[in-house]
Amino acid sequence: MATISTVSGVDKGIRRLSELNVILAIVLLVWIVITGETRRLFDGMVMNIGDFVSRFPSMVMDTYAWDRPDAWMQGWTLFFWAWWVAWAPFVGLFLARISRGRTIRQFVTGVLVIPFAFIAVFISILGNSALELVIGGDKGFADVAVTAPEQAFFSLMQQYPLAPAVVALALVTGLLFYVTSADSGAFVLATLSSQIEDPRQDASKGLRIFWSFTTGLLTLAMLLVGGSPRCNRPRLCLVCPCPC
């Protein structure tokens, strides 16, 4: 899927697949809100956003000067710093490519404002839905969330009406979250490994196919060996609400 998407180009396969991904994610969220505890979910979302806004300055400036959790920082913080540094060039180049002809206002709105709002809503609704079950005394779900987090997402979906259809929708949405990252990644890697004289020209289709297959094989190898040594939950990456 990623290969077909990246070969067809930004304006066709990559764009249409990304739009389909967003639409399916919105449908999933709407179904959870309608069939779940609607009032509590909205109240929780407002509270979550308020907590983020109020605590953000203190969290940004917190250097752990007196109580330094070295084990946690080495296991998570430094790992994610490396993750962001690795993704920044690829994401920046891809955003620049798809933003040709856009104004600065359109770029900021489409890249910063709308994605952040979507992520905040997505994580808040799913997180509060899971928290609702745990607080309600569902020990089975709580145990699954702790011991097998890659299963917890689907266990949560099974709590709603038309569970088989909801789980299938969640599976397709999670797959597309990965594919839409893989096709754009292959597209940028092909550009980086090309000599392109015209900035309006994209890399050859052969290079896009090569990088798409390469990243796919690397992903398969990481899953077979159990993931990164720093990541104890590699399979969660296939179903998490990744913004990319």
Condensed to tens digits (0 to 9), the pLDDT of residues 142-154 reads 888 888 888 888 8
Residue 66 is assigned to a structural domain of this protein: no
pLDDT number for residue 109: 92
Q: What is the residue range of 175's domain?
A: 2-49+97-238
pLDDT average, residue stretch 179-207: 84
Measured distance CA(227)–CA(219) in Å, rounded: 9
Residue 73 is assigned to a structural domain of this protein: no
Q: pLDDT digit string (tens) for 43-89?
A: 999 999 999 999 999 988 988 888 888 888 777 777 788 888 888 88
Residue 58 is assigned to a structural domain of this protein: no
Nearest to 182 by CA among 2, 24, 13, 46: 2
pLDDT for residue 187 is more than 70? yes
Query: Based on the structure, what is the number of domains in the chain?
Result: 1
- Confidence band of 233 (pLDDT split at 50, 70, 90): very low
pLDDT average, residue stretch 85-101: 85
Residue 144 is assigned to a structural domain of this protein: yes
pLDDT number for residue 237: 42
pLDDT number for residue 240: 42
Residue 244 is assigned to a structural domain of this protein: no
pLDDT number for residue 91: 86
Residue 221 is assigned to a structural domain of this protein: yes
Helix (H), strand (E) at residue 144: helix 139-147
Residue, of 180 and 200, whose pLDDT is higher: 180
Measured distance CA(219)–CA(234) in Å, rounded: 10
pLDDT number for residue 201: 78
pLDDT number for residue 36: 85
Measured distance CA(100)–CA(28) in Å, rounded: 31
> How distant, in Å, are the alpha carbons of 6, 91, 129, 138, 212 from that of 135?
44, 38, 10, 7, 43
- Confidence band of 243 (pLDDT split at 50, 70, 90): very low
Determine what percent of the chain is predicted with pLDDT higher than 90. Answer: 30
pLDDT average, residue stretch 114-125: 91
Residue 71 is assigned to a structural domain of this protein: no
80 secondary structure, DSSP code? H
